[in-house]
Amino acid sequence: MLYISKIIQNITVFFTVIIAAVNFISCGDDIVYVAKEEFDPPRFNWRSMEFPNTGYADIWALDTNNIYMLNHTYRSLYKLNNGNVSTFYIGVYGFNQMQGISNNEIYIFGCEFGVTPTIIKWDGGGYTYHPTNITMPGSSGINNKHFLRNSNEIWICSKSGIAKFDGEDYEYFAYDDTTMTPDGIFLSESNTIQYICSKIDNSGEFTQVLYELQGNIFIILFEYTHNPNIIRSTMYLKEIRGNKFGIKINQPEGASWSMCYNDFNNNAFSPRYCFSDELQYFASGIRSNNPIGYNLNNYMMLVVAGTGIFYNYRTGIIHWDGNKFSKELGTGGTGSLFYETFILFNICANSYLMLEPNIVDAKSTLYIGTRN
Q: Which residue has the higher pLDDT, 204 or 15?
A: 204
Tens of pLDDT along 104-142?
Answer: 999 999 888 778 889 999 999 999 999 998 887 656 677
Q: What is the pLDDT of residue 281?
A: 64
CA 244 to chain CA centroid, Å, is 13
Q: What is the largest CA-CA distance in the chain?
A: 57
Residues 6+ apart with CB under 8 A from 256: 277, 280
Q: Which residue has the higher pLDDT, 196 or 27?
A: 196
Conformational region of residue 126, where left means phi above 0, alpha means psi within -120 to 50, and beta covers everything else = beta
- 130, 154 contact by CB (below 8 A): no
- 210, 267 contact by CB (below 8 A): yes
Q: 76: domain CATH number? A: 2.130.10.10
Tens of pLDDT along 6-45?
Answer: 333 333 333 333 333 333 333 334 454 444 457 899 999 9
- 101, 151 contact by CB (below 8 A): yes
Range ranked top by mean pLDDT from 27-41, 146-160, 257-271: 146-160
Q: Predicted confidence band at 194 (pLDDT cuts at 50, 70, 90)? A: very high
Tens of pLDDT along 301-356?
Answer: 888 776 667 777 778 888 989 888 898 998 876 666 666 678 999 999 999 999 98
If DSSP codes are grouped into helix, strand and coil, which group holds residue 190?
Answer: coil
Predicted structure pTM score: 0.84
290 pLDDT higher than 80: yes
- Looking at the chain, list the stretches that DSSP marks H as alpha helix, in order from N- to C-terminal side: 3-7, 228-231
- 236, 196 contact by CB (below 8 A): no
Burial class (CB in 10 A: 0-12, 13-18, 19+), 254: exposed
Q: What whole-number distance in Å separates Cα of residue 114 and Cα of residue 155? A: 18
Look up the domain containing 129 and give its range: 3-371
pLDDT cut 70: percent of the chain above it: 83
- 28, 313 contact by CB (below 8 A): no
Conformational region of residue 190, where left means phi above 0, alpha means psi within -120 to 50, and beta covers everything else = alpha
Q: What is the pLDDT of residue 37?
A: 57
Q: What's the domain count of the chain?
A: 1
pLDDT cut 90: percent of the chain above it: 48
Task: Return the amino acid letter for 138.
Answer: G
Mean pLDDT, rounded, of the chain: 83
Q: What is the pLDDT of residue 72?
A: 83
